[in-house]
Amino acid sequence: MSTTLLSALHLRLPIVQGPMAGADTPALAAAVSAAGALGMLACGMRSPEAMAEAVAEVRHRTGRPFGLNLFVQDTPTPDPAAVSAALERLAPLYRRFGLEPGVPARWCEDFGAQFEALLALRPAVASFTFGILDAAAVERLHAAGCYVIGTATTVAEALAWEAVGADALCASGAEAGGHRGTFLGDFASSMVSTLALVPACVDALRIPVIAAGALMDGRGIAAAQALGAQAVQMGTAFLACDESGIGAAYRQALHTATGTDTRTTRVFSGRPARGIVNAMMEQLAAAEDAVPDYPVQNALTGALRRAAAAAGDADYLSLWAGQGVGRARPMAAAALVELLEDEWRAARARLC
């Protein structure tokens, strides 16, 4: 195995903790990094001030490299009629919790301000999803000492990231939990499996490829490396860890779900994302194509999902999880990294 990516990031293990917006914590990122893998902070929904606070906490906990992930997005100006229709559609769900839906103060964080904050924070790794940077922005990241990782769901997207100067590419298969990173073409044609996407990207690119999608144990790490990936990104596997930020209802849903219980949906956020099927997903299924695009729908359902979390009601949460969810193992993050290493080394020995 080439150690280009591992050497560049001073990592002992070819494991990246998937950034999980709303579910990650500084404690999780720090524990993963301290164990020899790469911890990540999902900053797509963090303000610049919250980014700085989270980074300070990680650095207090460990001196090991870690990364920040941002959503490449523009602040929208949605059609008022579409917003009104969306609010009317959501009203019965809000009333379950004694609430009425309303227009939020903002649709999303300002990406430009987040990007400047990231540059000032100078993490070892800066990763991006939902879109692509231009070459000038990548060069600014390099000048700040950041290793840049793009996200792609097709070979065309992977090549686009290589063309603007990314140092590595995360190839996100259709099995992966959470939001799809698609930014070229339509979502339906971009649902390429990890097994097909990873070797195609490896063959097309000169930069390292990180495999993502339903990779839950050491066998998956070894399999991804056999396809040519230099590392793997694991989200759902770390979601079940003690240090993740999810509540008891979400944890119980993870514990009982299997891969066939997940589906890709737009109803929670307006962007296709894979999660565990629940009542909200089923009740809004007929409106799948009508909900406003991300981040508008995401903002409109935010207060509802927070109320459901406070009530311990998993039926109205966005239960993001990949198809490997049935193999999630609750434990401390450091213990999971140690177990993954043992399994990976054993799998490599069997392959050899």
Q: At what angle do helices 194-204 and 155-163 cross, to 10 degrees?
A: 40
pLDDT at 1: 35
Alpha-carbon span 80 to 71, nearest angstrom: 24
> 193 φ, ψ to 5°?
-70, 155
Q: Parallel, antiparallel, or unpaired: how do β-strands 39-42 and 262-265 relate?
A: unpaired
Cβ neighbors of 319 (< 8 A, separation 6 or more) are: 250, 253, 254, 257, 275, 276, 278
pLDDT at 69: 98
> 50 φ, ψ to 5°?
-70, -35
pLDDT at 325: 98
Alpha-carbon span 297 to 267, nearest angstrom: 8
Q: How many other C-beta atoms are found inside a 10 Å radius of the C-beta of residue 69?
A: 24
Cβ neighbors of 15 (< 8 A, separation 6 or more) are: 32, 37, 38, 221, 231, 232, 234, 337, 340
> 70 φ, ψ to 5°?
-125, 150
Per-residue pLDDT of the chain (352 residues; tens, 9 = 90+): 344 899 999 999 999 999 999 999 999 999 999 999 999 999 999 999 999 999 999 999 999 999 999 999 999 999 999 999 999 999 999 999 999 999 999 999 999 999 999 999 999 999 999 999 999 999 999 999 999 999 999 999 999 999 999 999 999 999 999 999 999 999 999 999 999 999 999 999 999 999 999 999 999 999 999 999 999 999 999 999 999 999 999 999 999 999 899 999 999 999 999 999 999 999 999 999 999 999 999 999 999 999 999 999 999 999 999 999 999 999 999 999 999 999 999 999 998 8
Predicted model pTM: 0.96
pLDDT at 259: 87
- DSSP letters, 218-236, are HHHHHHHHHTT-SEEEESH
Alpha-carbon span 179 to 182, nearest angstrom: 9
pLDDT at 257: 97
pLDDT at 2: 41
Helices (H), the chain: 4-9, 26-34, 48-61, 80-95, 111-121, 135-143, 155-163, 194-204, 218-226, 236-239, 248-256, 279-283, 296-311, 333-351
Please state, in angstroms and as integers, the Cα–Cα distance from residue 80 to each residue in 100, 118, 153, following that order.
18, 33, 32
Helices (H), 96-182: 111-121, 135-143, 155-163
Residue 232 contacts residue 212 (beta carbons within 8 Å) = yes
